[in-house]
A and B are shown apart, each in its own frame.
Chain A
Amino acid sequence: EDKVVQSPLSLVVHEGDTVTLNCSYEVTNFRSLLWYKQEKKAPTFLFMLTSSGIEKKSGRLSSILDKKELFSILNITATQTGDSAVYLCAVSVDTGNQFYFGTGTSLTVIP
């Protein structure tokens, strides 16, 4: 059965800390891995990764994929209270016909 597992489930840090969120997957016909941020509304797209070892970066956020070990990490440096959200990892399979989501990591950043 295809599955996406995220860890930790929940994280509380202080502003300025660096956090690493993990996503591991077991799927057939992998196409891409995606990270989303969800703040009480619709998930908003952060990154899409298709190739191993190539870091994607946007400001204080970065992500990398390891297709051999079947995982990805999302790093957030110098965290701010605005980073508080649920971070979702998703894997697309079968030429993008289907997406599997993990249950998310809830990040709380305390001032």
Chain B
Amino acid sequence: DSGVTQTPKHLITATGQRVTLRCSPRSGDLSVYWYQQSLDQGLQFLIHYYNGEERAKGNILERFSAQQFPDLHSELNLSSLELGDSALYFCASSPRPGLLAYEQYFGPGTRLTVT
């Protein structure tokens, strides 16, 4: 158990809908990263938040957005869902970016199925 929690575990929804995925980082970690993993794409970096502020954006669609709250949990919002958005969504946390390199610890993931 990495200490990172994600809810829900599974989500099935229809095209055009909007969903919110939630992540709580390990105790003491200030950074939260979101990834999308689909069969043909591998792990794709979406976005990174550090202590409430956005630090880096990867290949995140405009239909997707995220935020990190004062208690450090993070939410990933996916809207106008398409079939191609079906994937595993992982959240990872690490202490903080900076001069020292830190590893990331992954949550169990949320499996999203868009029908």
Binding site for B on A (CB under 8 A): 31-32, 34, 36, 41-45, 48, 50, 88, 90, 92, 94-104
Digit string of B32-59 for contact with A (CB within 8 Å is 1, else 0)? 0101000000111100101000011010
* Cross-chain contact A95 with B109 (CB below 8 angstroms): no
On chain B, the number of residues with a Cβ less than 8 Å from chain A's Cβ atoms is: 29
* Cross-chain contact B104 with A34 (CB below 8 angstroms): yes
Q: Which of B33, B42, B106 is A104 in contact with, Cβ under 8 Å?
A: B42
Q: Which of A45, A88, A95, A97 is B103 in contact with, Cβ under 8 Å?
A: A45
Given A34-B104, A43-B106, A45-B104, decide whether A101 and B42 contact each other with a Cβ distance below 8 A: yes
Q: Which of B49-92 contact A (CB under 8 A)?
A: 50, 55-56, 58, 90
Binding site for A on B (CB under 8 A): 2, 4, 31, 33, 35, 42-45, 48, 50, 55-56, 58, 90, 94, 96-99, 101-109
Q: Which 9 A-B pairs have the closest CB atoms?
A: A96-B97, A32-B101, A42-B106, A103-B42, A101-B43, A97-B56, A98-B56, A97-B55, A48-B103
Give the secondary structure class of A's interface.
strand
Complex Cα distance A48/B107, Å? 18
